[in-house]
Structure 1
Amino acid sequence: MTQTDTDQTVYAVAFKEGRFLMVWNPKRKGWEMPGGHVKTGETLEEGVIREFAEEAGYAIRVVKMRDLGYCHVFAAVLGEKLQETPEMRVELFDEIPEELFFDRAEYEDVVPWAKTETEGF
């Protein structure tokens, strides 16, 4: 992937053994996928790997990217725990939880897509 020179947003749907990771954001009072803004000079993939580690405390292996128009979402495999994240609560889910900060319809689209893309890894 090429380096970016504009402010772009990324997040990852990371699976481990059929379950996906979300973080509870106390400031937003809702569950969300780890992600954020790509820094100048980073590739989209580098940005999502960094943001995921910062917010969730885990490494990820990126499998596939999808452009949603306003952001890029990555299907990923959850890796090793790198650090504690005292600001965010981390949890693995079988289903999308009720208390979301972002749009449920988007998650209902990208979670099954990411699950399919990460099967077999």
Structure 2
Amino acid sequence: MKKRVIFFALLLFGVGAAYAAGEFDGVDNVVKNLDSSVSTTSGSGMRAAMAWAPVLLFFTGLGIAFRQSKKESEQQGDTYKIVITCVVASVLGAFVGILADAVLGRILMGDSMKGLQVVWEYWKSALSAK
């Protein structure tokens, strides 16, 4: 037991001596640079997620509606219901995606229009329309 206490005390003394000698000055700069790079990466990831949400929900609504309406049309024999159901579900999916972006903007940035502005700027820069 005493060997562990002595080892721990020597370890603390060694770390303290290294810290006092300035051996860990570069660690602070590394941590600050890592923090800024993580926030930049997180921001670009969040912008991409917000921008792609309406597109993904559009196709999700389309897929779910197509599968469900195909089952119903096989039972009833009405093929035009597939098209109508798919169009309505796709538009609703895109609308839910835009609404989700507005809600995220409200939660994260305090203004729902800022969330929609993020989506606008993302697609504007992605399509190179200046």
With the shorter chain as reference, the TM-score category is under 0.3
Larger gyration radius, structure 1 or structure 2: 2
TM normalised by structure 1 equals: 0.24
Work out which structure has the larger RCO, using CA pairs closer than 8 Å and 6 or more positions apart in sequence: 1
* TM-score, structure 2 as length reference: 0.23
Structure with a larger share of its residues in helix: 2
